[in-house]
Amino acid sequence: MCTGRVDPALVAGAFKKGLDGLLVVGCYFGDCHYISGNFQARAKMDITRKLLKHIGVNEDRLAFRQCSSGEASVFVDIIGKFVDRIHELGPIGGGGDRLKAPEIFEKISTAQAVLGGEKIRWVIGKRTPFLESGNMYGEIFTEHEFNRAIDMIIVEETEVQEILAKLREGAQSVKDLAKALAIPTERIFRYITALKRKDMVALEKVSGRSPIFQITPQEV
Amino acid sequence: MPNKEDNIRIGVFVCHCGSNIAGYLNMEELGAYVETLPHVAFAKRNLYTCSEGGINEIKKAIKEQNLNRVVVASCTPRTHEPLFRSSCAEAGLNPYLFEMVNIRDQCSWVHMQQKDDGTAKAKDLIRMGVAKAALLEPQVPIISEVAQRALVIGAGIAGMTSTLALANRGYEVVLVERGERLGGMLNQLNKLGPTMADASAFADEKVKAITAHPKITVFTKARVTEAQGFIGKYKVDIETESGVKKIDIGVIIVATGGRLLVPEGLYNYDGKKVITQLEAETLLKQGLDKGVNNVVMIQCAGGRTKERPYCSRICCQTAVKNAMLIKEQNPQARVSILYRDMQMYGVENEEMFRDSKAKGIRYIKYEPEDPPQVSDGKVSVYHSLLGRKIDLAADLVVLSTPIVSQDGAEATSQLLRVPIDDNGFFLEGHVKLRPLDFATDGVFLAGSARFPANIREAVAQGLGAASRASIPLSKGSVVVEPIISILANEDACRGCGLCVALCPYGALEIKKTDKGRKVHIIDVACKGCGVCASTCYQHALSVNSFTDDQINAQINAFLE
């Protein structure tokens, strides 16, 4: 098994259960036992870290480092530095993170849903082809363009998953969702429209003048 | 804990490894702890689990205790997993229902001074191993036939050597050469250093042997246009002058060689008065003109530059060899070699280097920032010991240019799905451990296709690659570890091909099925890296013995 097997959703799952730090150590680029798995690992961990940071987890809690099996002292150095840093940060949801326990764990649940979800996994998977051989129109993306797209998707997907999580608790209006999640109404409306199109949410009823939306059975 | 079977009975064997583990961890505590873990039906400490006694205890416990999972907490799976697995198999337990925990390297060795911490970590690791073991599923090794025929691409010295070696072992070999004749670069050489054997005689001998060999089929002016399949079962298309031949191939050796850089625009290269070492070989073969009394050679011509940062390794020995041959043909000739660093690896090359100095060949070091200037009849160079520019008379200037990657190397790399490096040379599976194998099983490489090699090295590599290639051929089948990707949820797969693009081994393909387009895993080609499983947005793919559930169980056990 390769570092390329490290699934972002599993990483988020571990943090959700109280993990304080995760260090992924892979081979050097060009010297990977599985040819290119370490490239995938780094890409996946980079995006996972971005997302964790976005939701309020200190980004230093997830690291990707490289060393060869012949470099004992380098390995010790990597581990030592990482462990020291995690000790500095303390337990997850404490002083080291923007968000505190227990809210942080709810947010990490959202992150886990994002990382297990279709959209971000698709984009992560397409990263290598997009940067190397281009999309279906032959357009090759720069790393910068790709990262900008990822930043946007992280924001949107987090909000979408928060909406879905809220709706799993019960049907709500756009206005209530906006209030509960502190997201502008127009954005909620846009997401709901998109989710409706994908058959992930549906109109439950109209209460007064506000439509109330509920999650569709297959998304529960 | 999610379990598919209710009656999971795990046996855990904790090894003392003499004092290797027991000397640094609290074994009583560890032994007592193991018994408290879920599903553990039997726990035992052994002085050496790998000894005959230890192995017998595993076998006995499997039978008497009705164990259906075994965990050994001991040393490294690198050396001992096969042994413990086969012990399980001998006792009738599927060997993939075995899990190994490394409490020696990861606990007693690295935490030698911290007995309590080391013991606590060993508990964590064993708890994780047990949690995973509970979810392990039986696996069956994959066995696939190997077509008894090898394909060798390129008929230079490396390819010819591989071909003969394999054919002499009784295997059918198909040798494909895109040129008109066999021999490759060898045909242009004069004498082979350091023995000064005659290159033509050597080439002729090989070509004759190949042509006469009943097991060898040679296609010249031919190229491989298609190679579908995997180790043992390649379907190869060879485009020849008489049409396309479709041949079943078991193993492939890439020996496409390299190409000498033609230094157009460098040092006034003209192919007459300023020539390459390869052209010098031809000149020397014919006999040097009488008028050539002053020869200047320039090393690293077009090599070790920004575009070609590597050292081509064999140009220095070639230059020294040719300088000696010039001296032999014309003892009065003054030969100077302008160099940056002399790469004369090996005892014989070193000796030749020393001899050349005794014969009066002059060596002048130049700096890449201030390279020699070639003008009509002379070369001027900055002499760092004299501290000034000197002019050397030159009837002939010989440029030592590097071997660069072969034309079409990239196409070959795509055809066979094997990697090439930044310089266009083929990339071996591991520089030290698998130098003649590609990471892809069943494809091997030799000679300058891999990196600039002299004739001796190309021969050695040709023999080596043939030797590696004959392993699957002689076994007749390949047995593949079943720790590979599986399409765990076929309905979820949408046949998008995301995983196909990322698979480093070309082990995935999209196939049309009754249920639509689905991914298909070529199990013999899969190495179980798991990139596909961690990428699939439908979570349709998984890896045997490393499923999400199993990894999650370990994470949960760790965070308990």
Distances (CA, A) of B254 to A3, A30, B423, B441: 30, 20, 17, 13
Strand B233-240 relative to strand B223-230: parallel, antiparallel, unpaired?
antiparallel
Residues of chain A found within 8 Å of residue B546, distances taken between Cβ atoms: 1, 5
pLDDT score, position B194: 85
Q: Which residue of A has its CA nearest to B499?
A: A125
A25 and B CB contact within 8 Å: no
CB contact under 8 A, A2 and B529: yes
Q: How far is CA B182 from the centre of its chain?
A: 26
Tokens representing residue B278 in the block = 């390869």
| Domain B10-139 in this protein, CATH class | alpha beta
Comparing CB atoms, the residue among B502, B504, B559 nearest residue A17 is B559
CB contact under 8 A, B535 and A124: yes
Q: What is the pLDDT along chain B (560 residues), one digit of tens a residue?
A: 444 556 999 999 999 999 999 999 999 999 999 999 999 999 999 999 999 999 999 999 999 999 999 999 999 998 899 999 999 999 999 999 999 999 999 999 999 999 999 999 999 999 999 999 999 999 999 999 999 999 999 999 999 999 999 999 999 999 999 999 999 999 999 999 888 999 999 999 999 999 999 999 999 999 999 998 889 999 999 999 999 999 999 999 999 999 999 999 999 999 999 999 999 999 999 999 888 999 999 999 999 999 999 999 999 999 999 999 999 999 999 999 999 999 999 999 999 999 999 999 999 999 999 999 999 899 999 998 899 999 999 999 999 999 999 999 999 998 998 888 889 999 998 888 889 999 888 999 999 999 999 999 999 999 999 999 999 999 999 988 899 999 999 999 999 999 999 998 889 999 999 999 999 999 988 989 999 999 999 999 999 999 999 999 999 999 99
Mutation target vs A (from B502, B545, B546; most A CBs, 10 A cutoff): B502
Q: What is the ipTM of this complex?
A: 0.94
Distances (CA, A) of B512 to A136, B357, B470, B494, B516: 21, 69, 35, 11, 6
Position B89: which residue type? A
For the four alpha carbons of A32, A34, A40 and A46, in that order, the dihedral sign comes to negative
Superfamily (CATH H level) for B149-259+404-478: FAD/NAD(P)-binding domain (3.50.50.60)
Residues in B whose CB is inside 8 Å of some CB of A read 419, 421, 430-431, 439, 483, 496, 498-499, 501-502, 504-505, 527-531, 533-539, 543, 546, 548, 551-552, 555-556, 559
Q: Do domains B10-139 and B149-259+404-478 have the same CATH topology?
A: no
Q: What span, in angstroms and rounded, lies between the C-alpha atoms of B382 and B387?
A: 7
CA distance B342 to chain A (A): 28
Give the start-to-end residue ranges of the domains of chain B: 10-139, 149-259+404-478, 262-401, 481-544
CB contact under 8 A, B529 and A4: yes
Domain B481-544 has CATH 3.30.70.20: yes
A1 and B CB contact within 8 Å: yes
CA distance B531 to chain A (A): 5
Q: Which residues of A189-211 are buried (b: 16+ CB within 10 A; e: fewer)?
A: eebbeebeeeebbeebeeeeeee
Residues of chain A found within 8 Å of residue B519, distances taken between Cβ atoms: none
Comparing CB atoms, the residue among A30, A35, A122 nearest residue B537 is A122
CB contact under 8 A, B552 and A6: no
**pTM for the structure as a whole:** 0.75
Comparing CB atoms, the residue among B430, B543, B559 nearest residue A18 is B559
Mutation target vs B (from A28, A32, A35, A132; most B CBs, 10 A cutoff): A35
Comparing CB atoms, the residue among A5, A8, A44 nearest residue B546 is A5
Residues of chain B found within 8 Å of residue A40, distances taken between Cβ atoms: 502, 531, 534-535
CB contact under 8 A, A5 and B529: yes
CB contact under 8 A, A4 and B531: yes
pLDDT score, position B525: 86
Q: What span, in angstroms and rounded, lies between the C-alpha atoms of B12 and B44?
A: 6
A125 and B CB contact within 8 Å: yes
Give the start-to-end residue ranges of the domains of chain A: 1-116
Burial class (CB in 10 A: 0-12, 13-18, 19+), B293: middle
CB contact under 8 A, B529 and A1: yes
Q: What span, in angstroms and rounded, lies between the C-alpha atoms of B26 and B119?
A: 6
CB contact under 8 A, B533 and A122: no
Q: Which residue of B has its CA nearest to A120?
A: B537
Residues of chain A found within 8 Å of residue B533, distances taken between Cβ atoms: 5, 7
SS (H, E, C) B492-521: CCCCCCHHHHHCCCCCEEEEEECCEEEEEE
CATH of domain B262-401: 3.50.50.60
Burial class (CB in 10 A: 0-12, 13-18, 19+), A180: middle
Comparing CB atoms, the residue among A19, A40, A117 nearest residue B531 is A40
CB B453 within 8 A of CB B478: no
CB A118 within 8 A of CB A15: no
Q: What is the pLDDT of residues A12-57, one digit of tens each?
A: 999 999 999 999 999 998 778 788 899 999 999 999 999 999 999 9
Element of type H or E holding B192: strand B191-192
Residues of chain A found within 8 Å of residue B498, distances taken between Cβ atoms: 122, 125-126
pLDDT score, position B534: 97
Residues of chain B found within 8 Å of residue A44, distances taken between Cβ atoms: 534
Comparing CB atoms, the residue among A1, A7, A40 nearest residue B548 is A7
Count of residues making up chain A: 220
Measured N-to-C along each axis, helices A143-169 and A37-55 cross at an angle, to the nearest 10 degrees, of 50
CA distance A179 to chain B (A): 31
pLDDT score, position B5: 55
Q: What span, in angstroms and rounded, lies between the C-alpha atoms of A138 and A121?
A: 21
Residues of chain B found within 8 Å of residue A122, distances taken between Cβ atoms: 496, 498, 537
Q: Which residue of A has its CA nearest to B544?
A: A1
CA distance B552 to chain A (A): 7
Of the candidates A54, A58, A149, A60, the one whose C-alpha atom is nearest the C-alpha of residue A110 is A54
A14 bridge partner residues: none
